[in-house]
Chain A
C-alpha cells in the first residue's frame, strides 16, 4: 500500500542551526502539507503546497520556514536558525485532490529536538 515516507525519523540539532526535513509523498498525489505537533498538544497546520507553490500557510509558518519540491518525488521543509520552541513532531501529508472531502495521508513523522 502506498504511503508517505519521512526522513529522518528523529533529528537532534543545536539551537541556531538549519534543518531540512524530507518527505516523499504518495506518487500520484498533487497536494502536499506540513503539520507540526508539539509534545502533548494538538496537530497544527503549517503549510500546503500545490502546483509548485504555497497554497496556504498558517501564522506559524513565518520567514524561518520554507518548503520546496526539488524534484518529482521529494517535498522538504527547511527551518532556518532553529529555536528551542521548534522542538516538535513534524508530519508531512499528501492528498490526491484539494477538495473538502479528500483525506490526507500522513507520514510517520520526524521528531525534531532542538537543544
Chain B
C-alpha cells in the first residue's frame, strides 16, 4: 500500500489564485512528521513546510500553509496568491518515528503534483 498518496498528477492555476495540493498518508505510528518539498525544473529539492503529528496547530510558512486533518490522514499544502515562480513539482513526504534507538529514518515521498501557474 502507498504510504503517501498525491492524487493530482498535474494542476493548472491562474496567477494570484490560491491552490491546494492534496496529500494523504498511511501510518500506524503515532509519531510522524509530514513535509512538503518543491522541485523546480532545475531539479533541486527545496524544503517548504513541516507538520508534526502532535502539533495542535496547522503549520504556516509565508504563503505556504498546511491543512492538517489528522483523523482523515491528510496534509494538504495550500499556496496563497500563487506566483509564476511557483510552477514546479511538489512532493509530500513523511518520516515515521518508530525508531526508538536513535538513527534516522528516511523520508517516504509521494509521486508528486506538477503545478503550472498561468499568467
Q: Is the interface of A mostly helix, strand, loop or mixed?
A: strand
User: Which residues of chain B have C-beta atoms less than 8 A from A50's C-beta?
Assistant: 102-104
Q: Is the pair B104, A43 in contact by a Cβ cutoff of 8 Å?
A: no
Distance of B54 from chain A, by nearest CB (Å): 9
Query: Scoring B residues 41 to 59 as 1 if CB is less than 8 Å from chain A, else 0, what string do you get?
Result: 0111111001011000000
Name the one of B44, B53, B91, B102 contacting A100, with C-beta atoms under 8 angstroms. Answer: B53
The reply on B109 being an interface residue by CB < 8 A is yes
User: Are A43 and B102 interface neighbours, CB within 8 A?
Assistant: no
Task: Among B44, B46, B110, find the residue whose CB has the most chain A CB atoms closer than 10 A.
Answer: B44
Is the Cβ of B102 less than 8 Å from the Cβ of A98? Answer: yes
Interface size class of B (residues with CB under 8 A): 20 to 34
Residues of A within 8 A of B45 (CB): 43, 91, 93, 106, 109
User: In the complex, are the beta carbons of A58 and B106 less than 8 A apart?
Assistant: yes
Across-interface contacts of B32 in A (CB, < 8 A): 100
Whether A31 lies near B104 (C-beta < 8 A) is yes
The smallest beta-carbon distance between A111 and chain B, in angstroms, is: 8
Chain A interface residues toward B at CB < 8 A: 31, 33, 35, 41-50, 55-56, 58, 89, 91, 93, 95, 98-109, 111
List 5 tightest A-B contacts by C-beta distance, closest first.
A98-B104, A45-B106, A55-B103, A106-B45, A100-B33
